[in-house]
Amino acid sequence: MALRSTICKAALSIADMDRGHYSDHELTIALHPSETEERMMVRLLAFALHARDGLVFGRGLSTDDEPDLWLRDDTGAVVHWIDVGWPDERRVRRACGRARRVSVLTYGGSKADIWWNQNAAALRRNDRLDVAAVPREAASALAALASRSMRLCVTVQDQRIWFGSSDGGADFELQMLKLCA
C-alpha cells in the first residue's frame, strides 16, 4: 500500500512592502511522503514571495508537467511557473517555453551550489527565468516551523525576509543567482 501525503493547514499573513502586497491566506498544503518538511516550507515561502490572486500549488512531486506553484490567466495560459529545489535544466527550459515567467527557488546549501554550478550556463540563456537561493540556515529554521496546523507571518522589506510564527522564525535575504531579463 502506498504511503499517503500528510495534509497541513497554514494561515499565512503576508506583508510584502517591496511589492506593495498585503494579504491573508488559508492554505492547505500536502506534504508528500518523499518530501521533507524543509522543502514543504520552502514551497510556502515561494507562495508568500509570489502571492497574488490565482496563484495555486501544483499537484505535487509525482507530476512532471506541473510546477510546485503556478499562475494561469483566464485562457489557461501559464503566466508564472514556480519550481522549488533542483529541477532538471530541460524541465526549466520547457517551462520557459510554456510560461511568461519562470522562477526557481533553490535551497540546501552545498546541494544548491552544486546544482547551480552544473546548470548555470544553460539557465542563464533563459530570459524569462529568475533563480534565487534560500540560505541553508534559513531553510533549516523554516523546517523547524513545520506542523500540521501553522499560523505564519511573512514580512518582506528592502529584500529582507522575516518568516515566522509564535514558535520562532528566520530573518534572511535570498541570494539572487539570476534575474529575469
The tens digit of pLDDT for each residue in 79-129 reads 999 999 999 999 999 999 999 999 999 999 999 999 999 999 999 999 999
Residues 82, 110, 36, 135: what is their CA dihedral angle, to the nearest 10 degrees? Answer: -60
pTM for this predicted structure? 0.94
Higher pLDDT, 106 or 62: 106
Return the pLDDT at 61.
63
> Order of strands across the sheet with 69-72?
56-57, 69-72, 78-84, 99-106, 129-133, 175-178
Grid coordinates in use for 68? 510546485
Domains of the chain, with CATH numbers? 6-161+173-178 (3.10.640.10)
Q: How far apart are CA 27 and CA 46, in angstroms?
A: 13
Select from 26, 22, 30 the least CA-distant residue to 10.
Answer: 26
pLDDT band at 77 (very low <50, low <70, confident <90, very high): very high
Select from 73, 121, 75 the least CA-distant residue to 101.
Answer: 73
Return the pLDDT at 65.
80
Query: Which residues, other chains included, contact 79 with Cβ-Cβ below 8 Å and sequence gap of 6+?
Result: 54, 70, 71, 72, 73, 99, 100, 101
Q: How far apart are CA 9 and CA 30, in angstroms?
A: 9
Return the pLDDT at 148.
95
Query: Which residues, other chains included, contact 82 with Cβ-Cβ below 8 Å and sequence gap of 6+?
Result: 46, 50, 67, 68, 69, 70, 102, 103, 104, 105
Residues of the chain with pLDDT > 90, as a percent, come to 87
- Reduced to 3 states (helix: H, G, I; strand: E, B; else coil), residue 89 is helix
pLDDT band at 62 (very low <50, low <70, confident <90, very high): low
Cα-to-chain-centroid distance, residue 32: 15
